[in-house]
Structure 1
Amino acid sequence: MFSLTHFIVLLFCTLGSVVLAFDGDLTYYQPGLGSCGETSSDSDRVVALAPGQFESTPDACGKMIQITKGDLNATAKVVDKCPVCTLGSIDVSSTVFQEIAPLSAGRVQITWEYM
C-alpha cells in the first residue's frame, strides 16, 4: 500500500524545489559500513534515514539534511538506512546528536529537511 507520506516524499523528490520538513525522533548510533557503501566513524557528521524515506528518495546517498530542535541546528550527510526508525525519525552519529541534545537524553523530538 502506498501511504500518503510516501506520496509526499515522492512528490518532494520530483519537484525538488519544494521544502518539506519531517518530524520525528532523533537517536544516535555507532556508524560503520552503511547502506551507501561508505564506511563512517562516530566523529563523522552522518545520518541514517528510515527505510521508507531512504528507499523513496532518489539518490539519497550523499544528500545533506538540516536537523532542528528549537534554536539548535545540525547538519549531516545521508550514508545509511535505519532499519528500526519510523518514517520521519533519523539516527545520527553521536557527534551530530550532541549538537542537539546531551547523549544522556537518548531520544529527542526534532524536525529535519533536505538541504
Structure 2
Amino acid sequence: MVIQSLRGLSIIALLVAAQSVAVVLEARNGAAHGDATWYHTGQGACGAWSKDSDHVVALSPRQYAGGDNCWRHIKIHYQGKTVDATAVDLCPECQGDSIDLSPSAFSSLAGLDVGRIQVTWSY
C-alpha cells in the first residue's frame, strides 16, 4: 500500500514537472503580448552601453529572468510592422510581457508621441 502511494506521488510529481517545463518552453518560444513603451538608453542591466539609435529592448522582470535572456533577439510586431531588437536591459516597472524599447526601435513601429502601443513579440 505504501509503495503504491509513493508510486502515485512520483507520477504526480513527474506530471507537475513536465507541465512546468512545457510552460517555460511555451514562454520561451511562443508569442508574447503586452505594452511597448520607449526609454532613453544608457548602460543596461546586461552590462553594455547602448545608444538611442540602437534597436534594443528592456524586458520585464519576468522575461529578464535574472539576466538569462540578455542578448536574445526578439521580433516585435505592431500593425503590420516588425522590428528586431536585442535584449540589453531590465524594465522594472514593466508587467508581464510588456517591454520598453529604445527610441529607434519604437519609432520603427509608431511615432514616439504615441508613447504606448500594444505589441506581439517573440524570441
Letter in structure 2 aligned against 1:44: D
- After TM superposition, what 4+ stretches of structure 1 lie above 2 angstroms from structure 2? 10-13
- Report the 3-state secondary structure (helix = DSSP H, G, I; strand = E; otherwise coil) of the residue aligned with 2:93: coil
- Report the 3-state secondary structure (helix = DSSP H, G, I; strand = E; otherwise coil) of the residue aligned with 1:65: strand
The alpha carbon displacement at 1:53 in A equals: 1.0
2:87: which partner in 1? 78
Deviation per CA, 1:42-79: give whole Å up to 9, x if none: 011100000011116x7311100000012100010000
2:48: which partner in 1? 38
- Report the 3-state secondary structure (helix = DSSP H, G, I; strand = E; otherwise coil) of the residue aligned with 1:100: coil
Structure 1 spans left out of the alignment, 5+ residues: 1-6
1:4: which partner in 2? none
What is the TM-score of this pair, normalised by structure 2? Answer: 0.77
Structure 2 spans left out of the alignment, 5+ residues: 1-21
Across the aligned residues of Structure 1 and Structure 2, the Cα RMSD in angstroms comes to 2.4
Rg (Cα) greater in structure? 2
2:34: which partner in 1? 24
- Distance in structure 1 (CA, Å) of the matches to 2:90 and 2:96: 11
Aligned length: 105
Letter in structure 2 aligned against 1:108: I
- Distance in structure 1 (CA, Å) of the matches to 2:71 and 2:91: 15
- Distance in structure 1 (CA, Å) of the matches to 2:122 and 2:99: 11
What is the identity percentage for the equivalent residue pairs of Structure 1 and Structure 2? 42
- Distance in structure 1 (CA, Å) of the matches to 2:111 and 2:38: 11
What is the TM-score of this pair, normalised by structure 1? Answer: 0.82
